[in-house]
Homo-oligomer: A and B are copies of this chain.
Amino acid sequence: MNEKRTIQTVAKAIAAFFHDRKRMPTYTEMMELLDVRSKSAVQFWVRKLLANGFLAKDKKGFLIPSGSFGGLPVVGNVAAGFPSPAEEELRDVLVLEDYLMTKPGTSYILKVTGDSMIGEGIREGDLVIVDREREPKSGDVVVADVDGEWTMKYFTRKGETVILEAANPKYPPIKARSELRLGGVITAVIRKYHQ
Task: Enumerate A137-168 residues with CB–CB distance to B below 8 Å.
Answer: 140-141, 143, 149-152
- Whether B64 pairs with A111 at a CB distance below 8 angstroms is no
| Interface of A, helix, strand, loop or mixed by DSSP | mixed
Q: In the complex, how many angstroms separate the beta carbon of A38 from the nearest chain B beta carbon?
A: 20
Query: Interface size of A by Cβ–Cβ distance < 8 Å?
Result: 70
Q: Is B97 within 8 A of A150, CB to CB?
A: no
CB contact between A101 and one of B19, B118, B143 (< 8 Å): that residue? B19
Q: How many copies does the complex hold?
A: 2
Q: Of B79, B188, B194, which one neighbours A193 at CB under 8 angstroms?
A: B188
A99 within 8 A of partner (CB): yes
Find out whether the CB atom of B110 lies under 8 angstroms from the CB atom of A78: yes
Q: Are B189 and A113 in contact (CB under 8 A)?
A: no
Contact B121 A72 (CB under 8 A): no
Given A12-B105, A121-B121, A141-B193, 11 other A-B residues pairs in contact with their CB atoms under 8 A = A21-B64, A26-B60, A72-B108, A73-B108, A74-B111, A77-B112, A85-B132, A121-B191, A187-B193, A188-B191, A189-B193
Q: Give A residues with C-beta under 8 Å from B.
A: 12, 15, 19, 21-24, 26, 29, 58, 60, 62, 64-65, 70, 72-80, 82-83, 85, 94, 96-97, 99-101, 104-105, 107-114, 118, 121-123, 126-127, 129, 132, 134, 140-141, 143, 149-152, 183, 185-194
